[in-house]
A and B are shown apart, each in its own frame.
Chain A
Amino acid sequence: DIVMTQSPDSLAVSLGERATINCKSSQSVLYSFNYLAWYQQKPGQPPKLLIYWASTRESGVPDRFSGSGSETDFTLTISSLQAEDVAIYYCQQYYSSPLTFGGGTKVEIK
């Protein structure tokens, strides 16, 4: 199984500042495209798809969210943190079965 490791476990960022979340896979998830997605989960809600193919934003997702990286190292960046961005963020690889998720990064307001 591909193990997904996120860092940090949590971070506190001031409103309007940048938040950066890292995700590392135990093996490359690149095959023409990077098979990597990001989800946001707010308390009491199901996860919401933010980004797929490592950097393609899902329709309706604000452009302050961006994804980057390749092969085994990926980053989700929130360029200007808003109050509604408080959530847990997960990466997921879909390169091979079983699909696996990172442990999550909790983003809070400083």
Chain B
Amino acid sequence: QVQLVQSGAEVKKPGASVKVSCKASGYTFTSFPMHWVRRAPGQRLQWMGWSNNGNTKYSQEFQGRVSITRDTSASTAYMELSSLRSEDMAVYYCARGAASNGYVMDVWGQGTTVTVSS
């Protein structure tokens, strides 16, 4: 079945970087875009950006701090966020763009909790 499995929880110090992986299975990885979305405590879901056909687009809010990449040979997507601050503490999700419209997210990873603490 179609599945996205993310890497485990991370604890980072302020100013550090974190890299979260998302391994896809059950479908042709290169045929669908991949989004990254986060949910901080008490906040709404927040779209960070996406990777599609080798192209990437980021939310202006994270521009310069986020990098979304893919390893097609491993069917794995990555999201790296740098210069971490306390406000970046959140659950980070990868989500596949749907066939009906790539901006709708039809399959989600289980989430990766990132804690930022000195």
> Cβ of B45 and Cβ of A101 under 8 Å apart?
yes
Residues 40-88 of B at the A interface (beta carbon under 8 Å): 44-47, 57, 59-61
Tell me which of B57, B101, B104, B108 contacts A48 (CB under 8 A).
Answer: B108
Interface size class of B (residues with CB under 8 A): 20 to 34
| A15 contacts the other chain (CB 8 A) | no
Closest partner residue, chain B, to A56 (CB atom): B100
> Cβ of A52 and Cβ of B47 under 8 Å apart?
no
Among A65-73, A74-82, A90-98, the stretch in contact with B: A90-98
Q: For A39, what are the chain B residues with a Cβ–Cβ distance below 8 Å?
A: 45, 105
When chains A and B are docked, how far (Å) is the Cα of A104 from the Cα of B41? 13
Question: Least Cβ distance of A61 to chain B in Å?
Answer: 11
Q: At the interface, is chain A mostly helix, strand, loop or mixed?
A: loop
> Cβ of A49 and Cβ of B57 under 8 Å apart?
no
> Cβ of B57 and Cβ of A52 under 8 Å apart?
no
When chains A and B are docked, how far (Å) is the Cα of A90 from the Cα of B47? 13
Give the interface of A toward B (CB within 8 A).
35, 37, 39, 46-49, 52-53, 56, 58, 90, 92, 94, 97-104
Give the interface of B toward A (CB within 8 A).
35, 37, 44-47, 57, 59-61, 93, 95, 98, 100-101, 103-106, 108-111
17 A-B interface contacts by CB (under 8 A): A35-B103, A37-B104, A46-B93, A46-B95, A46-B108, A46-B111, A47-B95, A48-B108, A49-B106, A52-B100, A52-B101, A52-B104, A56-B100, A94-B103, A99-B35, A101-B47, A103-B44
